[in-house]
Structure 1
Amino acid sequence: MKNISKYEAINFLNNRDAIFLDVRSYSEFEYGHIPNAISIPIDELNEKIDLLEPYKNENIVIYCSSGSRSFTASSFLSRNGFRYIYNLTGGISPLQNYLVR
């Protein structure tokens, strides 16, 4: 697991070189999210981890509102064998210009 800045996340986004995982609530996701992001709220991650299995060896950028839930999710996925996990520190707020609603 690696913590990344908004600039590194934008690089992944621009290069389409990562899967984005939104671990906020469904209502937060609907309010605005990274295009093509997968939405799995942190409290459902354990039971829905199989949905991420196809991406086990791909870059996964995990984000939430502040970076706290994404850190927890990043640690969880790393412990479960996901190899390329990136936690967006500081949350999604700095990426407002990239969100779809």
Structure 2
Amino acid sequence: MNDITPAELKQRQAAGEKPIILDVRETWENEEARIEGSQNIPLGTLPDKISDLEELKDQEIIVHCKGGGRSASAKALLIQHGFSNVRNLLGGFGAYQQL
């Protein structure tokens, strides 16, 4: 599945959609500012939390971090564990905030 642009995500949210958004930034980053409805699991703890996400394996999951690097790693990890529909937020939270 292709990654998602901040504009596409904002359009979907404006239309009332509530996609599953996984914020892999550190907890302190999430506490400063966050995308409404996102779930925070820092990248370093993600391997230990994958089993908690098991019921989401076949659903679309949008992962994001500050700029896109950590979320790319998270996307690869989730796909490796059998998640079939993982999309990285291009440009990360920084790009999302600028819209």
- Give the structure-1-normalised TM-score: 0.86
Distance 1:32 1:54 in 2: 27
Shift of 1:96: 2.0
Change (3 A) 1:51 1:97: farther
Equivalent position amino acid for 1:85 in 2: V
Q: Which shows bigger deviation, 20-29 or 48-57? A: 48-57
Partner of 2:23: 22
> 1:1-101 alignment to 2 at 5 Å?
1-14=1-14, 15-96=16-97
CA contact (8 A) 1:65 1:91 kept: yes
Change (3 A) 1:35 1:17: closer
Post-superposition Cα deviations, 1:48-93, rounded to whole Å, max 9, x if no partner, equal: 1112112111111100001000000001101111111110111111
Matched pairs, number: 98
CA contact (8 A) 2:7 2:96 kept: no
Shift of 1:97: 6.9
Distance 2:11 2:87 in 1: 12
Aligned sequence identity (%):
34
Change (3 A) 1:68 1:97: closer
Equivalent position amino acid for 2:59 in 1: E
Structure 1: give runs of 5+ residues left out of the alignment. Answer: none
Query: Which structure is higher in strand share?
Result: 1
Equivalent position amino acid for 1:8 in 2: E
- Give the structure-2-normalised TM-score: 0.88
Q: Which shows bigger deviation, 10-19 or 57-66? A: 10-19
> Residue 13 of structure 1 aligns to a residue in which SS?
helix
Distance 1:50 1:94 in 2: 30
